[in-house]
Structure 1
């Protein structure tokens, strides 16, 4: 099951494999390195996310993974990598090799300067008919790349200055998805105030510039945000993060309407006991940012969409060797698309839920099963669907 607050259940089996591997990676060990392998079999009830067909299939996923988390004096070097082969029983054209590479360096000087250098790259089979009005039955690989730098400088007293610069890119192998490919760069600079260990306040300016390729009609967009943020940690068992941002987004001529309004997010983490934990997140944002916020992407690169989402996850340590988790999510998106024939309005509602169980057989071997279901209700009947995915896996981990 997913450990982050995601709005829609991933339909790629690579995603499911990585989800199932996450708990083992998080186990605290003395060794800074790990090597592992996983083998799972899953059943998808609607591979292409279509409204008028079941399209079920069985997928076998085999994964190799490795990682490190090493202290080097004041610095910390960390990374996780996995490679997965996905084999479909009935739709062999979808067979693919996916990967996930994530890493970073936390650094600090003897003075007041510190920061993080980070990068990640991922490739997997793209979700079908999720957040887009593009329906195909061909193989479509999605690649995402990101790298960036965060810098923090401590001022006198409880104040600090923090800056962030990052670059993102998304590509698809299917030409039908060219309108959703983009490049994006973002910069932010802010002042933060920490009066006590339980409170932190910040205000920052964020500038985002991007380009949607959109096939024969590429266009640029600019987004400007003022982020007001608050972090409250009333106890060691609970924390609350809030961001409210006046947002202004403009697009180049002929690329659809602009957006001006409030965006933001609220996240709550609560662990009432050592065995039980909850995570909940609410978010409202536009299509240019929601790919990374967990809300489905814009229905078209030319549309101006706003999404509101709620996601919650529960984890429970049943015994010393058995853990359970469950999640539920709901999101609504509305969009407007300017065409030569007039403006088209779109409305979508996504719901998703799932649960899983994991058993630590021995120290280096674990097994588990997962089930997830997703549903899209659209004002365009052809885009509505219901789909489920379930399966089991076994994995080994050496440290």
Structure 2
């Protein structure tokens, strides 16, 4: 079973690879695409803990970061790695202070004529600020996500391309009450793509997922999931493109059999650039849990309580000048929830909640190595039905500014 696999050593290998690249002689670094950056962000959050109305706690938050990036050719392939660390400090809420980490590395190679492959690993650590079960997280709880994968494509320069991917993913929480959501899964995927022209391709995929909710102190719930998916991409014009997918899934659990299901999933995305300065992006998606590719659009929503989710988003980017850009984003996410994995509520509950997000960002890039931005976001969640102990309504507004400098 996947619960016997260990992913963390694989993700850690990405760090050693990045450090090895950074340790190259000074003369070699000029050819590797090595870059070092620093960043500073200061923002105000009106509801840090995402608490219900009347229980909000506001705070100023400081994020001081260090960035590393490496992009170097390796034979007929390339090696790319990125690392970032942010010291996050909450004024008057010091118990939430933590270090946020992101790390990824990918080695791309050409094994033979028309055969291309990739091997990679990634890991991330972030603060999990609130709990869906209606229990406020007043203490620090970190979420750790790791992934390792190997992929191959055959026939890359022909109309037909065969693709295969094997990946191992792991999600863990440092807080014991949240460990009921710890999850690990192995995904095997095979696909075939047909591209009759540069503007059009079709792709068919079959996917098998073998995983488990590795709940600390409780019996693991193993699950198996099969998916079949079809994807079409169409470059309608130089200014417009459309991507659509549709799939069927079947999921079975050894313990939580009430979560056995068959469902359809899909998405539609349209990108349109009516002028040289304006770009619009719209997307609608229907997905579910178990960490499949169809459900990985937003890791923050991929957990044991979410049975199904529908998301609609609209984004616009307006380039005011070569150095100034304004971005607006709106999203609505509606989830179908149950408390099968809570381990805290005796009565079975199901229901839905809806989260609306609005965002506005103004960015200024006076130099290639310098970036400045200011942004504001509003989040509001509403609930439907009797969701006591499962979800709750809240609202939050955050705003702030950030700066970043790169030495290349």
TM-score calculated relative to the size of structure 1: 0.86
Stretch moving more, 30-39 or 219-228:
30-39
What secondary structure does 2:318 align onto? strand
Matches within 5 A, 1:338-353: 343-353=348-358
Aligned position for 2:329? 327
Structure 2 residue 228 is the aligned partner of structure 1 residue 226: yes
Comparing 271-280 and 335-344, the one that deviates more: 335-344
Flag structure 1 segments of 5+ consecutive residues without an equivalent. Answer: 1-28
SS in 1 for 2:301: coil
User: How many pairs were matched up?
Assistant: 368
Q: Which runs of 5+ in 2 are unaligned?
A: 1-29
> Are 1:219 and 1:255, in contact at CA under 8 Å, matched by a contact in 2?
no
| Equivalent in the alignment of 1:274 | 276
Cα shift readout 1:58-79 (whole Å, capped 9, x = no counterpart):
1111001010222334202112
Question: Could you tell me how far apart the structure 1 residues matched to 2:180 and 2:32 are?
Answer: 45
Match of 2:397 in 1: 388
What are the Cα deviations for residues 41-97 of structure 1, in whole angstroms up to 9, with x where unaligned? 111100111113220001111001010222334202112111110111110011111
1:297 matched to which residue of 2?
301
Deviation per CA, 1:290-312, whole angstroms, max 9, x where unpaired?
7622275367x3x5611111122
- Tell me if the contact between 1:60 and 1:87 (Cα under 8 Å) persists in the aligned partners: yes
Q: Corresponding residue for 1:4?
A: none
Distance 2:200 2:368 in 1: 39
Secondary structure of 1:389's partner? strand
Aligned to 1:99: 101
Shift in CA distance, 253/173, structure 1 to aligned 2, threshold 3 Å? closer
Residue 352 to residue 132, structure 1, CA distance change in 2 (3 Å) = farther
Q: Which residue matches 2:49?
A: 48
Whether 1:33 aligns to 2:42 is: no
Q: Is the 8 A contact 1:269 1:278 kept in 2?
A: yes
Which residue is equivalent to 2:378? 373
Distance in 1 between residues matched to 2:144 and 2:280, nearest whole Å: 31
Residue of structure 2 equivalent to 1:18: none
Aligned to 2:87: 85
- Cα distance, 1:245 vs structure 2: 0.8
CA change 1:42–1:341 in 2 (3 A) is: closer
Q: Say which of 67, 79, 83 aligns to 1:65.
A: 67
Is residue 129–residue 137 contact of structure 2 (8 Å, CA) maintained in 1? no
Residue 279 to residue 119, structure 1, CA distance change in 2 (3 Å): farther
Offset of 1:277 from its aligned partner? Answer: 1.8
Distance 1:279 1:102, change over 3 A: farther
- Aligned residues: CA RMSD: 2.4
Q: Which moved more, 1:361-370 or 1:336-345?
A: 336-345
Equivalent position SS for 1:107: strand
Q: What's 1:208 paired with? A: 209
Q: CA deviation at 1:363?
A: 4.2
2:278 and 2:115 map into 1 onto residues whose CA distance is 37
Match of 1:252 among 254, 263, 269: 254
SS in 2 for 1:166: strand
